Structure 1
Amino acid sequence: MVQIKPTEVSLEAGNLAEHSAELDDDGRPRRTGTVLTASAHIITSVIGSGVLSLPWAVAQLGWAAGPPVLLVFGGATYYTSTLLAECYRAGGGSDNPDATGARGRRNYSYMEAVRAILGGWKVTFCGVIQYANLAAVAVGYTIAASISMQAVWRANCFHARGHDDACRSSSVPYMIAFGATQIVFSQIPGFHQIEWLSIVASVMSFTYSGIGIGLAVAQTVANGGFRGTLTGVAVGGASGVTVMHKVWSTMQALGNIAFAYSFSNVLIEIQDTIKAPPPSETAVMNKATALSIATTTAFYALCGCMGYAAFGNAAPDNLLTGFGFYEPFWLVDVANAAIVVHLVGAYQVFCQPIYAFVESRAAAAWPESAFISKELRLGPFVPSALRLVWRSAFVCLATVVAMALPFFGSVVGLIGAFTFWPLTVYFPVEMYIKQRAVTRRSAQWICLKALAAVCLVVSVVATAGSIASFVGAFRDFRPFSG
């Protein structure tokens, strides 16, 4: 039985002896998460702005490779997610709900799991990659939200002035508005308090994805059939696409698809919201992952393929803001508004681990500091001084970076490509091999290593393409010009 020291019980939990019924085996407030809430968190983090770039990604790959690549990434993400879910508890070997110690110690974050199972330099490597990825996602979501807000204004402008009007506007004010909203929502203490926000965000993701699919189907019918080719965007001809441009775009498309499935970096944090066994947290998480990945893959296939069918090789890099659709303008407005609401929730899902990491380290380093422990009453919020200052500063920094680099497609591809292999494949595989003591050079060991090697090649290729796209976009852009 794991002995819990009194100092491990949080202030919010109260006295362990008096409130044991309200606490879990680790002395923390009893978790209440279920398959439904875990699925909501996953869908909120997975079905994000990346789904809107899928028609463009399929256009680079064509009908022959686009749909299969979507399915392969979905399958690989699901499989490695089940491996990662096995690592929520470390050091135990029993699923007996009455044998808390035998089940192992909980890992509250991705990096804690790496520290408990792998240790050494891999902990630092994981921390740098994970938190850099989460911060980059915050930047990417700020860009995506501003583009959608800007698209609402432009859709109404096109409706009023005609499609030939430039209807130009700066994205900077929209980024500032989104950042201000996130400063408020960032005062929510942690993952356990944002379940409602994830559910709302999940509904919004289905809303705008469904509208995008519906508009693409209508456009396909109006075209009289499917557009596109087996190999995607053609080299030469009227398009003027060079061989190198085709190669770089194909590589970036892989990065965009990888980003669309990105959620492994918050999987452990989501699993930590699930109520205590039975059934085990791993069993519940695997059900939630299967449900979520199956749902998102179906949506991705519909959105990516129908978007490509509607626009062919001319598919925009953002289905709802690239103005492949102008009418009905009000429906496009609803879809873009849903994107913004969804991104408000998704931003929090990805940023809560960053907030928790910094605040827990600060509390451990300066336990007596009034700045860390003192609470400030601000209307309905009661944040600590540290939470108010640190989280607000983080949001402001992410917003400033987004204003300096507002390249949606390039940023999405770069984030997905750079972090897909280490966070989604490498660490889950390595932790599973060590946790389950998989015999070296056994069939299972060889298959797991082969999966990691293949995904590494894909990630390197996609990163190269995304960097080339990013450099090309940056060359012709003036920072903060909107």
Structure 2
Amino acid sequence: MGEDRRMMVEKESAALDVEVSRNEEFDDDGRPRRTGTVWTASAHIVTAVIGSGVLSLAWSMSQLGWIAGPVTLFLFSIITFFTSSLLTNCYRAPHPVTGKRNYTYMEAVRSNLGATQVWLCGICQYVNLIGTAIGYTITASISAAAISKASCFHKKGHEADCSVADTFYMVGFGVIQIFLSQLPNFHELWWLSILAAVMSLTYSFIAIGLSMAKIISGNTGKTSITGVEVGVDVDSAQKVWKACQALGDIAFAYSYSMLLIEIQDTLKSPPAENKVMKKASFIGVSTTTTFYFLCGCLGYAAFGNKAPGNILTGFGFYEPFWLIDLANICVIIHLVGAFQVFCQPIFSVVETLITRRHPNIKFLTNEKTLIIGKSFKYKINLFRLIWRTCFVIVVTFLAILMPFFNDILAFLGAVGFWPLTVYFPIEMYIAQSNIKKFSKKWNLLQSLSILCLLISLSAAVGSIEGVVDSLKHYTPFETKS
């Protein structure tokens, strides 16, 4: 009896060890244990936020001037952080700490607002994600072309014709993304996001340093309280359109709310995910706003009302050419990572929907592991390989068709800012907190939403006018930087 008792205890102990091991490997929802921290989440945010948008801020400031420009930047940062904090509570529902997890932005909308608004959210989110991927492909190719041009200007002089076609560089960027797109899970991109965040800070520092050097030299452009002057730089209609476009560019520079739930889903707990994500949002938004003010204001002070649309590729700076090359290399590396951060939610939702409908088709689920080196594993799934490759090819083709840097950024900012950064977070917060209709708090939140809607509409109109104007001088597949 004693021996049997001992064997039973050993079996129970072994079973308990297996269960403990399983609990260490999986979270409460049965998925592999999340390992994200406040720092990895902050890196994802910085990667998503400090992107191509920062390069257009000097131009945006030149359209708005010394008063409206900084005020607009500050207001966008406050609104973004405030609505992001509301959105962090929607990761779990109905309770923000103990409720059921929502893995995507759309699931959060479904849990808090019901199925009727999910389609609107999905259209806004995924159109914006795809558009951002197109925008990043355009920006990366322009930076790659700028490296070639900087060397050319250095050798042949600043007046030489050093223009190069962007198409080749877009195709090269697409090839890189086809490889990286095969990474199966968002949480496996933490290293790429940290690298991309470092790159974004590096090229921002370089842009700031070059602007300061130009200011110190005294060779600066003319600035004003109201920005570009009517009758001197632009006519009255252009002043209005470009000011609206500048609002869109700034809105795009703060667009990461569409990814917030997906980033939050990478966090380990305890502590509660919403608390960690609020800290990460504060770190991310504070860091980016600091760089935005420095890049925007110093860039405007350096170039004045003639500030280029892209501060690193518009060739307000020619020397030192190697430093400009380094900055653009950092831009490219950063956008390689940022492209994946924005595309992984698209990959996830498509693959989840298809595998749920056809769980028994091995083509959709079978994974083959390719071992490279001793420790790195690279998994290949045939369905993922085919569909993600096709997606990257389509994005690259669309980028080649629409290579309008500032106009595209403004349109993306206009389309995504109000619904994804303001409307849905506010509506979900109202529903989750049971805020009474027409109460003081409800009125304030709705007033903020209406104000941001008007800003988005004006930015959309300005960006569309810019695209129409650009199309007058555009030949498909022959765009040069």
TM exceeds 0.5? yes
Q: Which residue of 1 aligns with 2:210?
A: 215
Q: Which residue of 2 aligns with 1:395?
A: 392
Which residue among 146, 151, 167 is the counterpart of 2:146? 151
Alignment partner of 2:445: what SS?
helix
Q: Is the 8 A contact 1:35 1:287 kept in 2?
A: yes
Q: Which residue of 1 aligns with 2:311?
A: 319
Q: Which residue of 2 aligns with 1:418?
A: 415
Q: Is the 8 A contact 1:200 1:342 kept in 2?
A: yes
Q: Which residue of 1 aligns with 2:425?
A: 428
Mapped to 2, the partners of 1:199 and 1:377 lie a distance apart of 25
Mapped to 2, the partners of 1:242 and 1:161 lie a distance apart of 35
Alignment partner of 1:194: what SS?
helix
Q: Is the 8 A contact 2:214 2:220 kept in 1?
A: no
Larger radius of gyration: 2
* Structure 1 gaps, min length 5: 1-14, 96-102
- AA aligned to 2:300 is Y
Q: Is the 8 A contact 2:220 2:304 kept in 1?
A: no
Q: Is the 8 A contact 1:211 1:335 kept in 2?
A: yes
Q: Which residue of 2 aligns with 1:172?
A: 167
Alpha-carbon shift at residue 226 of structure 1 (Å): 7.6
Q: Which residue of 2 aligns with 1:140?
A: 135
User: What TM-score results when the alignment is normalised by the length of structure 2?
Assistant: 0.93
Q: Is the 8 A contact 2:312 2:327 kept in 1?
A: yes
Alpha-carbon shift at residue 21 of structure 1 (Å): 2.0
Q: Is the 8 A contact 1:16 1:23 kept in 2?
A: no
Mapped to 2, the partners of 1:282 and 1:148 lie a distance apart of 37
* Distance change >3 Å, CA 378–CA 406, structure 1 → 2: farther
Mapped to 2, the partners of 1:165 and 1:276 lie a distance apart of 58
Q: Which residue of 2 aligns with 1:452?
A: 449
User: What TM-score results when the alignment is normalised by the length of structure 1?
Assistant: 0.93
Q: Which residue of 1 aligns with 2:334?
A: 342
Mapped to 2, the partners of 1:226 and 1:149 lie a distance apart of 27
Q: Which residue of 2 aligns with 1:200?
A: 195
Q: How many residue pairs get matched?
A: 457
Q: Deviations over 1:113-171 (max 9, x none)?
A: 00111123310000011001000011000000000000000000000111010101100
Which residue among 287, 291, 297 is the counterpart of 1:299? 291
* Pairing 1:354–2:333 present: no
* Pairing 1:264–2:264 present: no
Q: Which residue of 2 aligns with 1:4?
A: none
Q: Which residue of 2 aligns with 1:111?
A: 106
Q: Deviations over 1:10-46 (max 9, x none)?
A: xxxxx97861221111011111111100000000000
- AA aligned to 2:27 is D
Alpha-carbon shift at residue 261 of structure 1 (Å): 0.3
Matches for 1:26-45 after TM superposition, within 5 Å: 26-45=29-48
Q: Which residue of 1 aligns with 2:26?
A: 23
Alpha-carbon shift at residue 449 of structure 1 (Å): 0.5
CA RMSD of aligned residues (A): 1.3
* Pairing 1:405–2:408 present: no
- AA aligned to 2:391 is F
Alpha-carbon shift at residue 92 of structure 1 (Å): 2.6
Q: Is the 8 A contact 1:58 1:305 kept in 2?
A: yes
Which residue among 81, 84, 90 is the counterpart of 2:84? 81
* Structure 2 gaps, min length 5: 1-17, 373-377
Q: Deviations over 1:210-250 (max 9, x none)?
A: 0000000100111267841000000113x3x1111110000
- AA aligned to 2:284 is S
Q: Which residue of 2 aligns with 1:6?
A: none
Alpha-carbon shift at residue 276 of structure 1 (Å): 1.3
Alpha-carbon shift at residue 441 of structure 1 (Å): 1.7
Q: Which residue of 1 aligns with 2:322?
A: 330
Which residue among 68, 71, 80 is the counterpart of 1:68? 71
* Distance change >3 Å, CA 206–CA 18, structure 1 → 2: closer
Mapped to 2, the partners of 1:224 and 1:411 lie a distance apart of 31
Q: Is the 8 A contact 1:220 1:226 kept in 2?
A: no
* Pairing 1:366–2:358 present: yes
Mapped to 1, the partners of 2:326 and 2:66 lie a distance apart of 30
Mapped to 1, the partners of 2:84 and 2:95 lie a distance apart of 20
Mapped to 1, the partners of 2:379 and 2:89 lie a distance apart of 36
* Pairing 1:384–2:381 present: yes
In percent, how many aligned pairs have the same letter? 52
Q: Is the 8 A contact 1:212 1:319 kept in 2?
A: yes
Q: Is the 8 A contact 2:183 2:379 kept in 1?
A: no
Q: Which residue of 2 aligns with 1:252?
A: 245
* Distance change >3 Å, CA 175–CA 16, structure 1 → 2: farther
Which residue among 232, 236, 255 is the counterpart of 2:227? 232
Q: Which residue of 1 aligns with 2:462?
A: 465
